[in-house]
């Protein structure tokens, strides 16, 4: 059971118990991911989804938007859709293996699940950067010189970023 009120933070036994459970689960997942490289990608996807959720809440607070359960449920729906996309990719690979009869698939098919998970990770990473840009403040130095350039690079918007830098440089020279 998870408590979300302030008394929970003062209960040291609950914190230690939660930390121990979290450590055990993380250790089990890491051991599993050593045997199955695909598990590491899935773990990365869900870590990015969690980070996106946290930065989304920070963005909402920065913008003065009330964080309500209806908005938080959208992340759970999104995670369900991610699971469905991964399952669909898995089904494509299984069907292809069954069609060959030998159980071996050549070409690009063995990498279908990897590509799907990496694409979902990309979406989450861009969303995290968009949330951070607002949560840190659109005009903050961290946002302007770190977050925004990385986001522009990842979303292939280099030309617009380059033009913006030229405009800022010209404005600075004019002053």
CB 95 within 8 A of CB 112: no
The answer to whether position 24 is within a domain reads yes
CB 92 within 8 A of CB 16: no
Please give the pLDDT value at position 165.
55
The two tokens of residue 140 are 């903050």
For the chain, what is the domain count?
2
- Assess whether 103 and 63 both reside in one domain: yes
* Model-wide pTM > 0.75: no
The answer to whether position 146 is within a domain reads no
- Assess whether 42 and 98 both reside in one domain: yes
- Assess whether 29 and 83 both reside in one domain: no
The answer to whether position 105 is within a domain reads yes
Range of the domain at 118: 37-135
- Assess whether 57 and 118 both reside in one domain: yes
- Assess whether 106 and 62 both reside in one domain: yes
Query: What string of pLDDT tens digits covers the 175 residues of the chain?
Result: 333 444 434 444 444 444 555 566 666 656 655 667 777 788 888 888 888 988 888 888 888 888 778 777 888 888 889 888 988 988 888 887 777 776 666 677 778 888 898 999 999 999 999 988 888 888 888 888 888 888 888 888 766 655 555 555 555 555 5
Residue in the block written with tokens 């925004």: 148
- What SS3 string covers 15-74? HHHHHHHHHHHHHHHHHHHHHCHHHHHHHHHHHHHHHHHHHHHHHHHHHCCCCCHHHHHH
- Assess whether 53 and 103 both reside in one domain: yes
List of long-range contacts for 101-109, beta carbons under 8 Å, 24+ apart: none
- Assess whether 24 and 55 both reside in one domain: no
- Assess whether 63 and 108 both reside in one domain: yes
SS3 2: coil
Domain final residue pick, 135, 151, 169: 135
Please give the pLDDT value at position 96.
79
- Assess whether 46 and 119 both reside in one domain: yes
Please give the pLDDT value at position 15.
42
Buried b (16+ CB within 10 A) or exposed e, 125-137: bebbbbbbbbbbe
Cα–Cα distance measured from residue 17 to residue 52, given in angstroms and rounded to the nearest whole number: 26
- Assess whether 88 and 42 both reside in one domain: yes
- Assess whether 44 and 127 both reside in one domain: yes
- Assess whether 19 and 77 both reside in one domain: no
Composition of the chain by helix, strand, coil, percent to 5: 85, 0, 15
């Amino acid at each position: 059971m998870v408590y979300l009120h302030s008394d929970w933070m003062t209960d040291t036994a609950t914190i230690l118990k939660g930390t121990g459970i979290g450590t055990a689960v993380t250790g089990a997942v890491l051991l599993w991911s050593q045997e199955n490289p695909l598990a590491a990608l899935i773990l990365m996807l869900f870590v990015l989804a969690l980070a996106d959720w946290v930065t989304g809440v920070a963005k909402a607070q920065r913008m003065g938007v009330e964080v309500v359960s209806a908005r938080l449920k959208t992340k759970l729906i999104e995670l369900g859709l991610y699971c469905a996309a991964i399952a669909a990719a898995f089904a494509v690979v299984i069907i292809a293996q069954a069609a060959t009869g030998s159980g071996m698939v050549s070409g690009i098919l063995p990498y279908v699940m990897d590509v799907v998970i990496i694409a979902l990770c990309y979406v989450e990473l861009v969303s995290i950067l968009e949330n951070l840009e607002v949560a840190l403040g659109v005009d903050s130095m961290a946002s302007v010189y770190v977050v925004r350039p990385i986001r522009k690079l990842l979303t292939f918007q280099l030309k617009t970023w380059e033009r913006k830098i030229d405009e800022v440089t010209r404005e600075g020279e004019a002053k």
